Amino acid sequence: MTVQSPTTQSQSLWRPNRDRSRLIQSVVKFICGAFAAVSIVTTLGIVATLLFETISFLQEVPIWQFLTDRKWTPLFASKEFGIFVLVSATVMISVISILVAMPLGLLAAICLSEYATPRTRKILKPVLEVLAGVPTVVYGYFALLTVTPFLQTFLPNLKGFNSISAGLVLGVMITPLVASLSEDAIYSVPQRLRDGAYALGTTKRETIVSVVLPAALSGIVSSLILAVSRAVGETMIVTLAAGANPTLGLNPLVPVMTMTAFIVQVTKGDAVHGSIAYQTLFAVGTTLFLITLALNIFSFWFVRRFREKYD
């Protein structure tokens, strides 16, 4: 039996419309490119505005004053611009929240990926993601109207607005984020690593602690950093529960003002375009942006440095 080469006759049955595919191809490419360009241009626009207004701000207020003043009173007659007053509040609340979210989120992630049956996991995982979608204003009122009064029963010094209840509730809010992303990282550790550990005579707990968690470390750390970024940028809970009283220091029992809460305050008021209050808004925005950027760069570096490649 010999193989027939295609005859001219059978070739005439195949008439691909190459021109049309090429045209469609280039149109699709153009549309995708345009959408990508829109998002890049928007981002660049935001960064440019932030920088532009911040530079104007720094012409009015020298940077050392911005960094060393011990009060934050840009809207008063005697103005002081100590950004660390706001930064300290943001950092304190974020730290409290991650102290809550890290243990809760990691334990939930470990339970889900290592101990739950596949069925339980399939049900609980989406529930977790729904939890992450509860509106933050609900959390804010919960902190203000439920958690603070409850804490006041054994912390008599606790003010009505304070960092601790904002931080605790914020921690609960970002827990699903930590749990869900860490769970992905833990679940994707190859089974053969676990088998390798069990074959050496390790218990389940030893396998998880000594092999699975270290192998998932880069994913876990990046989930924590994402959660911290989320906490730093979170606005509603801190505005409602932590107050609007710029206070330098790390006392979690008194009202404070975070960077985001300040931005809300000024945006709600009537800051005149070009006024110092208006420019302060952008200076704070830039600071917030730089903190988040630093966190993301760290996360990027950490993941690149510590990610294990399993082919």
Residue 60 binds to another protein (criterion: CB under 8 A): no
Please pick, from the candidates 33, 45, 149, 190, the single residue that binds another protein as defined by CB under 8 A. Answer: 190
Q: Which residue has the tokens 């008021």?
A: 269
Residue 205 binds to another protein (criterion: CB under 8 A): no
Residue 233 binds to another protein (criterion: CB under 8 A): no
Cα→Cα distances 2→5, 6, 8, 10, Å: 9, 12, 18, 17
Q: Which is nearer to another protein, 112 or 174 (CB)?
A: 112
**Least CB distance from residue 299 to another protein, whole Å?**
19
Q: Which is nearer to another protein, 194 or 230 (CB)?
A: 194
Q: Which residue has the tokens 């994913």?
A: 219
Residue 208 binds to another protein (criterion: CB under 8 A): no
Residue span 213-232 as binding mask against another protein, x where in contact by CB under 8 A, dash where not: -xx-----------------
SS3 146: helix
Beta-bridge partner residues of 166: none
Going by C-alpha positions, the residue among 8, 182, 194 that lies closest to residue 103 is 182
Looking from the CA of 184 toward its CB, the CA atoms found within 13 Å total: 14
Going by C-alpha positions, the residue among 98, 227, 93, 228 that lies closest to residue 165 is 93
Please pick, from the candidates 96, 144, 197, 257, the single residue that binds another protein as defined by CB under 8 A. Answer: 197
SS3 159: coil
Q: Which is nearer to another protein, 214 or 233 (CB)?
A: 214
Q: Which is nearer to another protein, 22 or 192 (CB)?
A: 192
Residue span 110-129 as binding mask against another protein, x where in contact by CB under 8 A, dash where not: -------x------------
Helices (H), ranges, the chain: 8-11, 18-60, 63-68, 83-110, 118-131, 136-142, 148-152, 163-187, 191-198, 204-207, 213-215, 217-233, 236-241, 259-268, 276-306
Residue 16 binds to another protein (criterion: CB under 8 A): no
Residue span 127-166 as binding mask against another protein, x where in contact by CB under 8 A, dash where not: ----------------------------------------
Please pick, from the candidates 196, 290, 293, 294, the single residue that binds another protein as defined by CB under 8 A. Answer: 196
**Least CB distance from residue 106 to another protein, whole Å?**
19
Residue 124 contacts residue 218 (beta carbons within 8 Å): no
Beta-bridge partner residues of 81: 72
Please pick, from the candidates 13, 130, 200, 272, the single residue that binds another protein as defined by CB under 8 A. Answer: 200
**Least CB distance from residue 223 to another protein, whole Å?**
18
Residue 185 binds to another protein (criterion: CB under 8 A): no
DSSP secondary structure, 81-134, as one string = B-HHHHHHHHHHHHHHHHHHHHHHHHHHHHIIIIIS-HHHHHHHHHHHHHHTTS
Please pick, from the candidates 198, 289, 298, 302, the single residue that binds another protein as defined by CB under 8 A. Answer: 198
Question: Could you tell me which stretch among 124-132, 185-193, 252-260, 279-287 binds another protein (CB under 8 A)?
Answer: 185-193
Binding site for another protein (CB under 8 A): 117, 190, 192-203, 206, 210-211, 214-215, 308-310
